[in-house]
Structure 1
Amino acid sequence: MIDAHALARFRAAFLLDFGVPLEDGCEVFWTTYFQNALIDGRYWAVLAEQQSQTHEAQAVACAGLMFFPVVPVPSDPSGLRAHVQGVYTLPEHRGRGLGERLTREVLREAQARGLKSANLNASVMGRGVYERLGFTEANAPEMRLDLAGAAL
């Protein structure tokens, strides 16, 4: 079973690398989320591990896959979209291809499930990897609204 706490730690590290402040309790909250999402199938993840000096396996990189419902079409009847999420490598392990290898692994999982497309939100650091894998800019006119502050 994938270590949900490791996924939560990687998520926190990823956001902190980009200067995003975290709410108190995020890691505990995310650990619970990942535990449940891994069990019910909303999330699928892989970890790269390395032996530590104490000969224990230590997670050094991860990649995840979320499954979002979409309206099916004849060319893609699955009704699901794969969203690559949570690709992160600890700084001291970067430059070894771990992120790309793990991203390929989650994309192969999406293919094995019969999904026809995948998307992601690329960081500047990861953009080259994703372009090598065949990702292209999407023409999605996405807009967002903060519902908590919206006067509707």
Structure 2
Amino acid sequence: MNTGPGRFRRVRPALVAVAVLVPLVLLYAVCVPAAWQRTGLRGAEPVAATFHDGACLLGRCTVTYSLAGERVTAGLPVGTRAGGHAEGDTVSVRAAPGEPQRVALAADTGRGTVAALLAVPVGASLLALLAAAVHVLRDRRPEDLVQDP
């Protein structure tokens, strides 16, 4: 079945837009809650905890600490910078009062970390907008640029 030569040219921009927007939305869905969690834990008291290795950048490493005489194991949020920490190291974490499972490394609750987490999706969005602008400008026909008097 032949749909003609122009059909794909009309559908292609929509496919490209979807292919760019879906990862951007997923990036925002991961980075914004992680930044929000760190902001919420900024005022909590630091507690000593035992670090357990994992894929910290993906949110798969954990810490174990004592709270009211009980051992609590909690997962660290996505984007945790755990460089230099090995299995069994003692680290300082901040835990939310009343929510012992919500923790973050004390060093990761500063404004710089939150800004870096938010800069990733914003930078990706700006890059996508720049690519779209270049695409639109390159697709202009020469007769569109010249105006008759």
Q: Normalised by the size of structure 2, how large is the TM-score?
A: 0.23
Higher relative contact order (CA 8 A, sep 6+): 2
- Structure with more helix by fraction: 2
Q: Normalised by the size of structure 1, how large is the TM-score?
A: 0.22
